[in-house]
Each structure stands twice: as C-alpha cells, then as structure tokens.
C-alpha cells in the first residue's frame, strides 16, 4: 500500500516569499544558551523539536543554519536513527525513525556526546558474561566476572 510520504507533494514558494516563518530563530537562541551551559557547567540539554510549532520551511531553515559537522552515526534498533553533529561542535541532531522509516522523534541534543550513543551499563555487564562464555564454553561454574 502506498504510504503518505510516497505521494509526491511539494510546496512551492510563491514569487519571492521564502518558506521560512522565522520560527527557527528562537530555537537557535535556545541552543546558544544551552551551549553556554555546556561550556561553563558541563550541563547537557535536549530540545524536542516535535513540541515546537514549526511552519512550512522552519525546520529546513533551522537544520540548514546548523549545518553538518564531521561526525555522523547510524543506530539500528527499532528502526534507524541518524545522529549527526552540526557545524557547531556539541550540537547534535537526533532523528529517530521506526521500522517503517517514519520519524518518531526529532531532537537537538547539546552535549559532549549524545546519551543514546553511550553503552548502557547493564548491556556492558551482559556483554562481559557473553564474551566470557564464548571464550570458555566448557566452564560450568560462574566466572565471578560480574563481581570483579
């Protein structure tokens, strides 16, 4: 079945009217303040762009102004997530999609590294056990590695 996003619809700006309602500007100021907090206090900030009343063109204007930096990460769990650092170091765009490639969240994270990239403590503990089991398949006793 054809999905909504497969239907080719493009809004064309009339005459010289740009598709930008200037609603990106307050977000850029919010990012500026968040960067100040990160630089001086190390405090990260996340901005949920789904909660922002953007008009046509506003999101593109914001993302264009932030630009593309030197890091791009793809996460593949419950659908694809694309994470990239903008031209402003410490300002990351996180675009979460579901298994049908539909966006389920779009966030700006102002941080040294996005929280979702870090390995989760529980996963690290389970990995340790898993690798140990692979290296020592005949061992019957627990390794005690969890306590180490």
Partner 1 sequence: MADDMKRFTQTLGESLRERGVSRRGFLKFCTATASMMALPPTMVPAIAAALEKARRPSVIWLSFQECTGCTESITRSHSPSVENLIFDHISLDYHHTLQVAAGDAAEAAREAAMHENEGKYIVVVDGSIPLDNPGFSTIAGISNLQMLEETVAGAAAVVAVGSCAAFGGLPHADPNPTGAVSVSDIVHDKPIVNVSGCPPIPTVITGVLAHFLTFGSLPELDALGRPMVFFGQSIHDRCYRRPFYDKGLFAETFDDEGARKGWCLYRLGCKGPMTYNACATTKWNQGTSWPVESGHGCLGCSEPDFWDAGGFYNALSIPDSDIIRRAGVVAAAGVALGAAAGALNRSTRAKAAASHEKVTIDDLDKTS
Report the distance separating Cα 142 and Cα 133, nearest Å. Answer: 9
Please report, for residues 2, 45, 57, the alpha-carbon distance to residue 10 in angstroms, rounded to integers and kept in the order given. 17, 33, 11
- Using CB under 8 A as the binding rule, whether residue 147 contacts partner 1 is answered as no
Total residues binding partner 1 (CB under 8 A): 38
- Using CB under 8 A as the binding rule, whether residue 1 contacts partner 1 is answered as no
Q: Which of these segments, 29-37, 51-59, 66-74, 131-139, binds partner 1 (CB under 8 A)?
A: 51-59
Report the distance separating Cα 91 and Cα 112, nearest Å. Answer: 8
- Using CB under 8 A as the binding rule, whether residue 69 contacts partner 1 is answered as no
85 half-sphere exposure, CB direction, 13 A CA radius: 12
- Using CB under 8 A as the binding rule, whether residue 47 contacts partner 1 is answered as yes
Write down the least CB distance from residue 99 to partner 1, Å. 5
Site string for partner 1, 8-27 (x = CB under 8 A): ------x--x---xxx----
**Taking every pair of C-alpha atoms in the chain, what is the biggest distance, in angstroms?**
76
Report the distance separating Cα 117 and Cα 92, nearest Å. Answer: 12
- Using CB under 8 A as the binding rule, whether residue 146 contacts partner 1 is answered as no
Cβ-contact 136, 60 below 8 angstroms = no
Report the distance separating Cα 98 and Cα 80, nearest Å. Answer: 7
Write down the least CB distance from residue 106 to partner 1, Å. 8
- Contact footprint for partner 1 (CB under 8 A): 3-5, 14, 17, 21-23, 46-48, 50-56, 58, 75, 77-79, 81, 96, 98-100, 102-105, 107, 115-116, 120, 122-123
């Amino acid at each position: 079945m054809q999905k909504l996003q497969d239907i080719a619809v493009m809004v064309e700006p009339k005459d010289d009217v740009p598709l930008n309602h200037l609603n990106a500007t307050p977000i850029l100021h919010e990012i500026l303040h968040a960067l100040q907090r990160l630089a001086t206090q190390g405090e990260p900030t996340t901005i949920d762009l789904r909660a922002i009343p953007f008009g046509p063109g506003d999101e593109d204007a914001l993302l264009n102004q932030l630009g593309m930096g030197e890091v791009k990460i793809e996460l593949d769990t419950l659908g694809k997530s694309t994470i990239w650092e903008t031209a402003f170091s410490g300002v990351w765009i996180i675009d979460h999609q579901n298994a049908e490639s539909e966006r389920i969240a779009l966030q700006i994270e102002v941080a040294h590294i996005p929280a979702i990239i870090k390995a989760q403590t529980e996963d690290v503990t389970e990995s340790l056990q898993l690798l140990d089991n692979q290296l020592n398949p005949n061992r019957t006793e627990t390794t005690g590695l969890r306590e180490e």
